Amino acid sequence: MKFSKIALAITTLLVSGSVLAHGYISSPPSRDTMCQLGMNKGELCSNAQYEPQSVGESPKGFPAVGTPPDGKLVSTGKALGANLDAQTAEMWKKNKMTSGENDFSWHFTALHKTKNWKYFITKPDWNPNKPLTRDAFDLVPFCTVEGNQQLPDAADVTHKCVVPERSGYHVIYSSWEVSDTANSFYKAIDVEFEDTVVSPWPNKVGEVKAYQDLKAGDSVSTRVFMPEENVNESMTMKINSDAEGKAHAWAKKLAEKMNKHYGEDLRVGVKNAEGEVAPSASNNVIYAKKDSKITGVEIEVVSNEGLIQTKLEVDDVKKEYPINNQTVTFDVTGTSSPKSEVTASLYTKGQKQADSKQQIVDESGKFDLAIEGTKVKPGEHTLVVISKSPKGLMKQQTFKVNLTENAGGGESEAEFTYPKDIGKYVGGTTVLQPKNGKVYQCKDGAVAGWCKIYSQSANHYEPGVGSNWQDAWTEVGAAKKSH
């Protein structure tokens, strides 16, 4: 009889321990909670609809390796929520949401000491018809709430978070990291951003990314660029303590300081449904007014040791680039610190990535990246150039560029768009130079071989652009306008 009582006590202890760290997001309901509420189809949910509190348990530390595997971020690789990893634009019921401040509520089946809660969101250009992976998300959390190793105040807690500006369908990925086990609980929330009012700050001219912690004595400086001059020259913010240097802390403080310093020239923060821009403790967008002449903003971190994070000087970026056959091509050149990684990315006005190129800078310190955006449309775009040192320190420059229809509007046609299929060029071949919208013809004779010579670092014979292009090519005229 005594043996039975002991066995019962042990069984009770094991059951109680297994539910200590369980919970789910009740509002806006996470994907598994939507199953419990009957909002998602039963056949998609399987048994997850009966136990949403048990879905998503995995080693803590996302987005680090060893945490939920790509393609299984919702189920975390467990059978219970396996069906929840399926992903299309129309599969899951969505919560209506607007950018700006939102409430996120968790329900816990039992209280447990907590390290923190974090919230991530998919990138503006994510593909909603592919399984969720780290590449789909902005891996800097837009909201972090510290648990301070304490028990939550109640079985239901609510966090106020500033959600970045987005449009259409997105996924918010949240982690609840308990402090005395090796695991976290991960939840996906499907959201649909509603249309917002027209903002007085429509132009994106830069970003303040909370990508690293800084130390006391470090400083962050900004420079605002116009076509011919700097506005208010520059601004510097000093980090007075390691606490001030935490990524979420300095990013918000810098946004607040920039708003005060630049007045009506700029606004830094996250845009809400009313079109207002307010600083946040995550990634802040730098906005300018519609008629502003500001073309870019540079953010630079200087360490206490006096070492600039990494050198970055971008050569002249044009205000306009022509589109030919829905394609825009132009080079991004400049200098950066040797061994740094330079990335140039072109974004549409809706913040979808049109193209991105990377290069490891050699000892010369020079970089040359060929941007080629396809299926692009005329209008305002953003070019972001980031240099990252081997130690992970970064420097960024952002430029506003306008893409225009074929500027020539002529009648000349081409067989190829340069430099595609360059090995097929012979005397008489005509090519479209997408950098200026003109057509060129390869010369006959021995020089025809020069038409096939091209690299980003040796473009002497590039039609209309290279230093010796006239030795190999003849200008035919403006290309026929594409339709």
Which of 232, 265, 295 is the endpoint of a domain? 295
Report the alpha-carbon distance of residue 148 to residue 146 in Å, rounded: 6
188 with 259, same domain: the answer is no
Question: Under a CB-based contact definition with an 8 Å cutoff, are residues 193 and 170 in contact?
Answer: yes
Q: Examine residue 118 and state whether it is found in any structural domain, yes or no.
A: yes
- Judged by average pLDDT, the poorest of 50-54, 86-90, 319-323 is 319-323
Name the band, by pLDDT with cuts 50, 70 and 90, for residue 207. Answer: confident
363 with 225, same domain: the answer is no
- Judged by average pLDDT, the poorest of 120-129, 142-151, 196-205, 416-425 is 196-205
Listed in sequence order, the residues at least 6 apart from 70 whose beta carbon sits closer than 8 Å to its beta carbon are 131, 132, 133, 134, 135
- Judged by average pLDDT, the poorest of 49-58, 122-131, 209-218, 325-334 is 209-218
Number of domains present in the structure of the chain: 4
Listed in sequence order, the residues at least 6 apart from 75 whose beta carbon sits closer than 8 Å to its beta carbon are 55, 56, 81, 82, 83, 84, 85
Specify the CATH number for the domain of residue 157.
2.70.50.50
166 with 261, same domain: the answer is no
393 with 463, same domain: the answer is no
175 with 211, same domain: the answer is no
Report the alpha-carbon distance of residue 256 to residue 258 in Å, rounded: 6
Name the band, by pLDDT with cuts 50, 70 and 90, for residue 414. Answer: confident
Question: Under a CB-based contact definition with an 8 Å cutoff, are residues 382 and 321 in contact?
Answer: no
Q: Examine residue 301 and state whether it is found in any structural domain, yes or no.
A: no
Q: Examine residue 350 and state whether it is found in any structural domain, yes or no.
A: yes
- 8-state DSSP, 68: S
Specify the CATH number for the domain of residue 392.
2.60.40.2550
Say how many C-beta atoms besides its own lie within 10 A of residue 358's C-beta: 13
Q: Examine residue 165 and state whether it is found in any structural domain, yes or no.
A: yes
pLDDT attached to residue 14 = 35
- Range of 334's domain? 309-405
pLDDT digits (tens, 9 = 90+) for 19-45: 444 789 999 999 999 999 999 987 788
Q: What pairing do the DSSP bridges indicate for beta strands 320-323 and 394-405?
A: parallel
Q: Examine residue 369 and state whether it is found in any structural domain, yes or no.
A: yes
37 with 149, same domain: the answer is yes
Name the band, by pLDDT with cuts 50, 70 and 90, for residue 231. Answer: low
> What three-state secondary structure class fits 141?
strand
Say how many C-beta atoms besides its own lie within 10 A of residue 174's C-beta: 26
Listed in sequence order, the residues at least 6 apart from 367 whose beta carbon sits closer than 8 Å to its beta carbon are 332, 333, 334, 335, 336, 342, 359, 361
**Shortest CA distance to 171 belongs to which of 22, 349, 30?**
30
Report the alpha-carbon distance of residue 265 to residue 225 in Å, rounded: 11
- 8-state DSSP, 463: T
Q: Examine residue 12 and state whether it is found in any structural domain, yes or no.
A: no
31 with 167, same domain: the answer is yes
Largest separation between any pair of C-alpha atoms in the chain: 105
Find residue 386's DSSP bridge partners.
343, 396
pTM for this model (two decimals) = 0.50
Average of per-residue pLDDT values in the chain: 83
322 with 280, same domain: the answer is no
217 with 273, same domain: the answer is yes
DSSP 273-290: TTS-EE--SS-EEEEE-T
pLDDT digits (tens, 9 = 90+) for 95-146: 999 888 899 999 988 777 899 999 999 998 888 988 999 999 988 898 999 9
**Shortest CA distance to 352 belongs to which of 387, 320, 380, 319?**
380
Specify the CATH number for the domain of residue 239.
3.30.70.2150
Q: Examine residue 2 and state whether it is found in any structural domain, yes or no.
A: no
Name the band, by pLDDT with cuts 50, 70 and 90, for residue 1. Answer: very low
Listed in sequence order, the residues at least 6 apart from 162 whose beta carbon sits closer than 8 Å to its beta carbon are 100, 101, 102, 142, 143, 270, 278, 280, 281, 282
16, burial (CB in 10 Å: exposed 0-12, middle 13-18, buried 19+)? exposed
The residue-averaged pLDDT of 326-339 equals 88
pLDDT attached to residue 448 = 92
Which of 295, 317, 345 is the endpoint of a domain? 295
Higher pLDDT, 116 or 404: 116
The yes-or-no verdict on residue 62 having pLDDT over 90 is yes
Say how many C-beta atoms besides its own lie within 10 A of residue 75's C-beta: 25
pLDDT attached to residue 265 = 84
349 with 399, same domain: the answer is yes
Q: Examine residue 3 and state whether it is found in any structural domain, yes or no.
A: no
Report the alpha-carbon distance of residue 408 to residue 71 in Å, rounded: 46
The yes-or-no verdict on residue 310 having pLDDT over 90 is no
249 with 357, same domain: the answer is no
Which own/partner pairs from 255-264 qualify as long-range (CB within 8 Å, at least 24 positions apart)?
255/208, 255/279, 255/280, 255/284, 258/208, 258/222, 258/286, 261/232, 261/235, 262/224, 262/231, 262/232, 262/235, 264/289
186 with 315, same domain: the answer is no
Find residue 267's DSSP bridge partners.
287
Which of 234, 269, 295 is the endpoint of a domain? 295
pLDDT attached to residue 410 = 56
